[in-house]
Amino acid sequence: MANLRNSTESYGIIAQAFHWLVAMLVLVQLGIGLYAANLPVSLARLQWLSHHKSLGLAILALVLLRLGWRELNPPPELPGSMPHWERRAALVTHRLFYLLLILAPLAGWLYASAAGLSVNWFGLFQVPDLISKDRELAELFKALHIGLVALLASLVAVHVGAALRHGLLLRDGVMHRMLPWKPRRND
């Protein structure tokens, strides 16, 4: 358990906190979204979708803050032992991750705006609509939101798979850069 800032070997506490908080919220968010979208029109659906919208905007804000922190505090280098294509793949998937973590909630916000179901953030304040009510645009942004979320979920699977490969098979310390505890290096 080390620094607030990233070192050359490991992510710092702040980057780790952002990572695990966003990861946990995204999983909760996926669960709520899938559950609520399949409910019939009911008070429960109204409540869950309302939480889903507030939580989605919270994730969007967290991701923007996280990107800001990442700008100020570059991530540790990947080990030189990794093949070039793997480092490229890691770079591309991480960029795509950030892109989807911004676009998926944004598409959801556009969908809610176009549907005329504006967001009141956890009952605390009214969130402005991005566009005015339009039934066709609502359908379009709904499809876009679902498509982006499906991509994001696939990316989570790839990311977890790759992290476990580094942690359990390669044991090259890449996964442990994002963990608050460090294993004893077995080399």
Partner 1 sequence: MLRFLVVLFVSAALPAAADECYSVDPAGGSVSFELRQAGSPFRGVFRRFGGELCVAQGRVARIDVWLEPASVETGLPEIDAALKAKEFFDVGNHPRIAFASASVRAQSVRQVARGTLDIKGKRRNVDVPFRLDESGGKSVVSGSFTLDRLDYGIGTGEWSDTRWLGAEVKVDFSAGLSRR
Minimum Å gap between C-beta 43 and partner 1 is 4
- Element of type H or E holding 19: helix 13-37
- 27 binding partner 1? (CB under 8 A): no
**What is the distance between the alpha carbons of residues 134 and 132, in angstroms, rounded to a whole number?**
6
What tokens were used for 148? 């982006």
- 95 binding partner 1? (CB under 8 A): no
Residue 1 corresponds to which amino acid?
Answer: M
Residues in the chain: 187
- Piece of the chain touching partner 1 by CB under 8 A; list 13-21, 40-48, 82-90, 174-182: 40-48
Q: What is the residue whose two structure tokens read 């019939």?
A: 40
Q: What is the residue whose two structure tokens read 């968010």?
A: 29
Minimum Å gap between C-beta 118 and partner 1 is 4
Closest CA to 161 of 103, 86, 84: 86
- 126 binding partner 1? (CB under 8 A): yes
Task: Pick the closer one to partner 1 by CB: 48 or 97.
Answer: 48
- 117 binding partner 1? (CB under 8 A): yes
Minimum Å gap between C-beta 40 and partner 1 is 8
- 47 binding partner 1? (CB under 8 A): yes
Binding partner 1 by CB under 8 A: which of 116, 147, 161, 180? Answer: 116
Task: Pick the closer one to partner 1 by CB: 40 or 83.
Answer: 40
Residue 115 corresponds to which amino acid?
Answer: A
Spell out the long-range contacts of 29-37 with Cβ–Cβ below 8 A and sequence spacing 24 or more: 29/55, 29/56, 29/59, 30/149, 30/153, 33/149
Binding partner 1 by CB under 8 A: which of 3, 42, 93, 154? Answer: 42
- The residues of the shown chain that bind partner 1, judged by CB under 8 A, are 41-43, 46-47, 49-50, 115-120, 123, 126, 133, 135, 138
